[in-house]
A = this chain, B = another copy of it.
Amino acid sequence: MENRKIPKPTIKRLAVYYRCLENLIKSGKETISSQELGNRLNIKASQVRKDLSYFGEFGKRGIGYQTRRLQDGIAEILGIKRIWNVCIVGAGNLGMALANYPGLSKSGYQIKAIFDVSSEKIGKKLQNGLVVEDLKNFERVARKEKIHIGVITVPANNAQQVADLMIGSGIEGIINFAPAKLNIPENFPLEEIDISLTFRALSFQITMQKSRQ
Tell me the A residues contacting B by CB distance below 8 Å: 8, 11-12, 14-16, 18-19, 40-42, 77-80, 84, 86, 92-94, 96-98, 100-101, 103-104, 107, 109, 148-149, 172-175, 179, 181, 187, 189-191, 193, 195-207, 209-210
Contact = CB atoms under 8 A, between A and B. Distances in A.
Contact of A93 (B97, B173, B175): B97
Contacts of A189: 202, 205-206, 209
Contacts of A101: 93-94, 195
B173 A202 contact: yes
A149 B100 contact: no
A195 B94 CA distance: 12
Contact of A15 (B77, B103, B107, B200): B200
A77 B199 contact: no
A75 B86 CA distance: 37
Nearest to A41: B181
A203 B79 contact: yes
B206 A172 contact: yes
Given A97-B93, A100-B93, A199-B109, A205 B191 contact: yes
